[in-house]
Chains A and B, each alone.
Chain A
């Protein structure tokens, strides 16, 4: 991947200008690629293969499903870049990290969306001066505990009301624990986000559109990587193979954690998938609902893009472990 070198250029968005370079012709190249794709459509027999078309359906459907949430996310991140200053964050968030982290987690209640939208928002919060521990807690909590997700969980499990409570508690707990862990670690050299964009004299509207567009192509590019990985793994590892371990509680918990990572399902809909697997225990399905919104293939790709690859490599296993442990503990108490 080429993010490291690209980010260097990205950090000075108003710098280099290459007059007469490739940049002028990029939209034309895009048109040419689309026309070429239309022309080859009927000429390549491989495109008619059942599995290739199924892969295409899975890949495109993950992208289309994520699109509205990604757009909502970058609109919010554009607004944050324009209206939220480090001063404002200092005034609103409690000073002490032990308090700032759960406060940021509860703020997640207010964002009705799924995980794709919260990644650019968290990135923008960090560049606007929010302590990273608080922004990361928001990143993990928002897609899991917002009202839309909790209502859809209640609809999917009409006879298991305690599961909704367990999901809320376990997800919130996991987000706060990861946030505190990051606050203690306090190693900001790992984070590699866009620097705060100071006002360059252009109007607020221009800046809003610029930032929202930049965050869209940035997070969107990584979303595409994740969607390709999810579509490919679904074809390589059929779900029926995974479903043969239902009898063993430990195996089912591990399987559901793996399933959540591989399937990369939107947090607003994962409850329906879990409800469709009734042969498994409620606790193992709670693991699925707690892990999915905080870490999965497409999220790892997006975290690497927005926060840097080194960060993603450490953040993913810690988050996965904390989410599984939190879900199992809460499941023991509540389910």
Chain B
């Protein structure tokens, strides 16, 4: 890799990642709090790249000298994949590959839900936690507003699994958070994003006494599809 090539690589990474930072597209791959570290890294790479380009072209012959191992060219691969395959956020294909999230045991009490009129907006992970571990049954008979994507399952007639991914670090560790919805009306395609107003369906047998994956169910009150994929499609465990 020549010094020119290296400078070009640094600038390209800076430009493409910088674009993801500016338009929020990075949120499909990593957590929101990575915005500032990514922006700082982008600025440094651009400064290094421009500095190298300018100083090596000023020195004439300098630019063509060997300045890095050939393996550095592999850095172009994620950039090429980014512009050609145009990967999107995790969706139904990913959800089918990994076991759904099981709420971990909670010992502290849940705060009561606000008394204001329903629906109450809630993260999907909080819905699952309250359904599984809230002894006060705060979800009972309340209308809760959740946002997520559609994952169809032939075994669920007239419904789908409302799915959102729990991402701890980057999309590669995403675990599906799923609520099985019934009575969702007209069928929707996999990966359609929806805002769903739902009422929790208390289980006949406590989840803790069932074998395998806990199926947490709810009845749909209203489903409204959302156009496109949100910029912040994941929930974080923080």
Q: Which residues of A contact B (CB under 8 A)?
A: 1-3, 6-7, 9-10, 13-24, 26-27, 29-31, 33-34, 37-38, 40-41, 44, 47, 50-54, 56-65, 67-72, 75, 155-156, 159, 206, 209-210, 212-214, 216-218, 220-222, 224-225, 227-228, 230-231, 234-235, 238-240, 243, 263-266, 268-273, 275-276, 278-279, 305
Question: B17, B45, B64 — which one has the most chain A CB atoms within 10 A of its CB?
Answer: B64
Contact of A57 with B89 in the complex, beta carbons under 8 Å:
yes
Instruction: Take A53-B93, A265-B172 as given contacts and tell me if A30 and B99 are in contact as well, using a CB distance cutoff of 8 Å.
Output: no
Contact of A62 with B61 in the complex, beta carbons under 8 Å:
no
Contact of B69 with A6 in the complex, beta carbons under 8 Å:
yes
* Nearest Cβ on chain A to B214's Cβ, whole angstroms: 12
Residues from chain A with a CB closer than 8 A to the CB of B104 are 275-276, 278
Bound-complex Cα distance A273 to B45 (A): 30
- CB of B136 within 8 Å of the partner chain: no
Instruction: Take A51-B93, A221-B71 as given contacts and tell me if A26 and B52 are in contact as well, using a CB distance cutoff of 8 Å.
Output: no
Dominant secondary structure of chain B at its interface with chain A: helix
* Nearest Cβ on chain A to B106's Cβ, whole angstroms: 9
Bound-complex Cα distance A47 to B4 (A): 31
Residues from chain A with a CB closer than 8 A to the CB of B175 are 273, 276
Contact of A210 with B52 in the complex, beta carbons under 8 Å:
yes
Dominant secondary structure of chain A at its interface with chain B: helix
Contact of B84 with A305 in the complex, beta carbons under 8 Å:
no
Contact of A272 with B26 in the complex, beta carbons under 8 Å:
no
Residues from chain B with a CB closer than 8 A to the CB of A69 are 37
Q: Which of B6-14, B148-156, B178-186 contacts A (4 or more CB under 8 A)?
A: B6-14
Contact of B4 with A57 in the complex, beta carbons under 8 Å:
no
Contact of A27 with B5 in the complex, beta carbons under 8 Å:
yes
Query: Which residues of B in the span 22-42 have a Cβ within 8 Å of any Cβ on A?
Result: 26, 28-30, 34, 37-38, 40-41
Question: B44-66 CB contact bits vs A (8 Å, 1 = yes)?
Answer: 11001101100100000111111
Residues from chain A with a CB closer than 8 A to the CB of B3 are 23
Bound-complex Cα distance A72 to B44 (A): 10
Bound-complex Cα distance A31 to B79 (A): 11
Instruction: Take A64-B26, A68-B41 as given contacts and tell me if A38 and B97 are in contact as well, using a CB distance cutoff of 8 Å.
Output: no
Contact of A24 with B77 in the complex, beta carbons under 8 Å:
no
Contact of B102 with A217 in the complex, beta carbons under 8 Å:
no
Contact of B30 with A19 in the complex, beta carbons under 8 Å:
no
Contact of B17 with A67 in the complex, beta carbons under 8 Å:
yes
Kindly report which residue of chain A lies nearest to residue B104, judged by CB atoms. A278
- CB of B166 within 8 Å of the partner chain: yes
Contact of B74 with A56 in the complex, beta carbons under 8 Å:
no
